[in-house]
Amino acid sequence: MSAGAVAAAAILGLSEAADAHADDGADVLGQAGMDLSQATQVLDGAPTASLDAEQLSFLTSQESLQTDEATSLIDGQESLQSGFSAAEQSDVSAADTQLTDAFQGLLTADQTFASADQAGDLSGFTGLSDQFGVIDADLGLLGADANTVFADIGAEFANFFDPSALIP
């Protein structure tokens, strides 16, 4: 894929991701998964021939994080929440939205990194800034992940004491 085609796909992907951002609580984690998949595709399309060893290591580590840990995070949340009642789903909707927003931020950061790579701008301060943008997005995922864990525990705990949950 040529650099121009990858850049066009990255820009098009950004607008499609913004349009497709989930509004329905039931679709929030699915949207996060789609954003993660698209972010990984963006990095897969980034040209590697012009990268030095440090930049290539950064790209490889980011792809690994997205295909292993981040994917496991979404799969775990979907699995856990599949058994939640409607009340529990409602209790965790804000945390799920935060997680989806974090994955949208990751997609945007990956697109910025890939565009800088294609333009040959990964050296110097600009390249460092783009790498920090991806790291910042990763840290956003960490905070969102912690929030979903506490929201999941809170939903389970709150509904444990809800007598209406016992009524069929």
| The CATH fold of domain 3-166 | Four Helix Bundle (Hemerythrin (Met), subunit A) (1.20.120)
| Measured torsion, CA atoms of residues 1, 16, 96, 66, in degrees rounded to the nearest 10 | 10
The pair of three-digit structure tokens given for residue 59, joined into one six-digit string: 């790209």
Distance CA 113, CA 2 (A): 16
Q: What is the pLDDT of residue 21?
A: 42
- Pull the structure tokens for residue 150: 């506490």
The rounded distance, in Å, linking the Cα atoms of 95 and 73 is 13
Instruction: Supply 101's token pair.
Output: 């927003």
* Tens-place pLDDT, residues 136-159: 777 777 777 776 776 777 776 766
Q: Which residues of 40-50 are buried (b: 16+ CB within 10 A; e: fewer)?
A: bebbbbbeeee
Helix, strand or coil for residue 52? coil
Mean per-residue pLDDT of the chain:
73
Taking the complete model, does pTM exceed 0.75, yes or no? Answer: no
pLDDT digits (tens, 9 = 90+) for 100-134: 888 888 888 888 888 887 777 766 555 556 666 67
Residue ranges in the chain assigned as alpha helix (H)? 3-20, 28-44, 53-67, 69-81, 86-119, 124-160
Coil/strand/helix, residue 46: coil
